[in-house]
Amino acid sequence: MLGAASLVAISCDSAGPPDGSTAGTIVSSVTIDAASDTLEGPGHSVQLKAVALNAAGEEIEGTTTKWSSFDEAIATVDASGRLQAEDFGQAFIRAEIDGTVAQRAFLVADVLPPSSTASTLAFVGVDVVTMVTASPLVDQTIVIRDGIISEMGPAATTPIPPDAAVIEAAQNQPWFIMPGLVDSHIHMTGSSAEQDDVLKLYVANGVTTVREMWANGNSRTQRDRIELGALGPRVFAASPGMDGPGGPWAGSTPPVSDASNARSLVRRYETEGYDFVKVYNLLEIDVYQAIMEEADAVGIRVIGHVPQKVNLQMALDHRQYSMEHLLGFGPMVSSTGNLNSGTLNGARVEEWSAKVAASGTWNSPTLSVLILSTERAREIRRSNAYRYVPPSMKNFFETGFHQGVSNSTSEVIDLNHKSMVRALRDAGAPLLVSTDAGFGYMLPGFSIHDELAHLVDAGLTPFEALTAGTADAARFLGGDKEFGTVEIGKSADLILVFGNPLEDVERARRRLGVMVRGRWFSETRLRSMLEEVADKYGG
């Protein structure tokens, strides 16, 4: 917990009273009065009063106060002195009267239970973003039993079990429950211990399910440990990428050079328990076809890149289940054959978006990593969140081949890719929220909120963007009976946020807490967990 709030009065010397005044009206000191030094979480407010005193300690009436906050991300103060909490932490507020100033520290505290292992827990008086409909349910009670949503209904009529731990919404505060987020394209790197810490970054950001896109034995072990109760998001694991000779990862994943080898690998990956087979850039057409045929025969879906020699139509004809990074569209719609440059042919964009929609193939745009500029990469390196990244992942970021592009190139990439996403949405093609976290300065957990903002900027409504990262992602993963929406019988993968995320996806960042399969962690507990990770790595 941060230190106790303090009061500081600062006097400014003056050569003498202003014209027409007397010594009794000279402001000698200023104090800030408030009913409390502590605000109970974001959204709470308190009225401040600045009192000007003369040298005799008497209050001077009729003064004008100039208010300001040193920490507007934590708390803001308006011209009347109304202090509004925005986030957890400590904020210093400044009051100035006639050149004399005072400072006072206020703590925005977490009044929620930091964590809970209770088998039954009830959220009371919350609004619920179910992601079944585009309107929230108002003033609800949700009962969680053994990690499952067992009851949900109006707070006035839904009984609270006598054995339940209770988290009750603060009066007149916009507390919303929404489903946990799904990042459908991530990479877990590093040792098992480092992966444990990376998984905490996802939980701390409300990401309760991930699709690991180049998994290995460690990834599958993490998946299984989490299913047995270890802390982390639910993991779906794609096989190591199946690529042709000359690829960038040949040192760790041997290339697939012929159809027979491809078929054997597909059978092996299915037997080893991978959830998907991943295809990559340099596959020959006959090898790609062999992968698709064998995968269909053994009942495992193929996801990944559209290989360079495999055009978009061929990928659709073979029913590739998901396509990453909008690869394959460039040759069909761009004047240069690449979405990273040139201009798009609007008619061709509409034509191919309609074809993709008709095929049912899912699209994983990963806008954040595609438009990463060198300037944005520098911002990420300087960010507080970078302290939580394990050393091996930092090294991969800082020595890897994706360091960002120039601002001007980023602008072209941004325009073209977002235009393609908007067209896919308009055509009804299914979209996923995917970040490529673990690659190219995409920070695990944190980057999903940037991706949601990019999707909205591309033209999706907040409901559409959040659907791509909750209900639709669960449907894509075959888990829609278990997670992705807030409904009775679903897993209690939930985020308690301040404000309605259906109005602004940024509100999904303003967490009050996260529940992972029935385990509750308040935001303060999550931040403490992150600081433990940072301390481990000297952050």
Residues 181-483, CATH architecture: Alpha-Beta Barrel (3.20)
Q: So what's the pLDDT on residue 112?
A: 84
Our CA dihedral for 48, 507, 127, 44, rounded to 10 degrees, sits at -10
Mean pLDDT, residues 231-244 = 97
How far apart CA 58 and CA 115 sit, in angstroms, is 48
Q: What percent of the chain has pLDDT over 70?
A: 95
| Residue 328, phi-psi category: left (phi > 0), alpha (psi -120 to 50), beta (remainder) | left
DSSP tag of 321: S
CB atoms closer than 10 angstroms to residue 329: 26
Which CATH architecture is the domain 7-109 placed in? Sandwich (2.60)
Residue range 145-199, pLDDT digits in tens: 999 999 999 999 999 999 999 999 988 889 999 999 999 999 998 899 999 999 9
Q: pLDDT per residue over 203-219, tens digit each?
A: 999 999 999 999 998 88
Q: Does 117 score more than 80 pLDDT?
A: no
- The pLDDT value recorded for residue 266 is 98
Above 70 in pLDDT, residue 354? yes
Helix (H) or strand (E) holding 168: strand 165-168
pLDDT exceeds cutoff 80 at 116: no
Would the pLDDT of 295 be above 90?
A: yes
Q: Is the pLDDT of residue 2 over 50?
A: no
Report how far residue 534's alpha carbon sits from residue 539's, in angstroms, rounded to the nearest whole number.
5
pLDDT of residue 3: 34
CA end-to-end distance (rounded Å), the chain: 19
pLDDT band at 56 (very low <50, low <70, confident <90, very high): confident
Indicate the class that CATH gives domain 111-179+484-539: mainly beta
pLDDT single digits (tens) 341-352 = 999 999 999 999
Nearest one of 275, 274, 278, 248 to 262, comparing CA atoms: 278
Residue 277 in contact with residue 300, Cβ under 8 Å?
yes
pLDDT (average), residues 106-115: 83
How many CB atoms lie under 10 A from the CB of residue 58? Answer: 12
Confidence band, pLDDT 50/70/90 cuts, at residue 118: confident
pLDDT of residue 40: 81
pLDDT given at position 362: 98
Q: Which residue has the higher pLDDT, 111 or 437?
A: 437
Give the domain ranges of the chain: 7-109, 111-179+484-539, 181-483
pLDDT for position 83:
96
Q: How is 332-359 classified by DSSP, letter by letter? A: HHBTTSSTTSS-B-HHHHHHHHHHHHHH
Q: What are phi and psi of 391, to 5 degrees?
A: -55, -40
CA 170 to chain centre: 24
Tens-digit pLDDT profile for residues 140-160: 999 999 999 999 999 999 999
pLDDT tens-digit series, residues 485-500: 999 999 999 999 999 9
Q: Does pLDDT of 15 surpass 60?
A: no
Is the predicted pLDDT of residue 5 greater than 60, yes or no? no
Where residue 109 falls among pLDDT bands split at 50, 70, 90? confident
| Predicted confidence (pLDDT) at residue 22 exceeds the cutoff of 50 | no
The answer, yes or no, to whether residue 11 has pLDDT greater than 80, is no
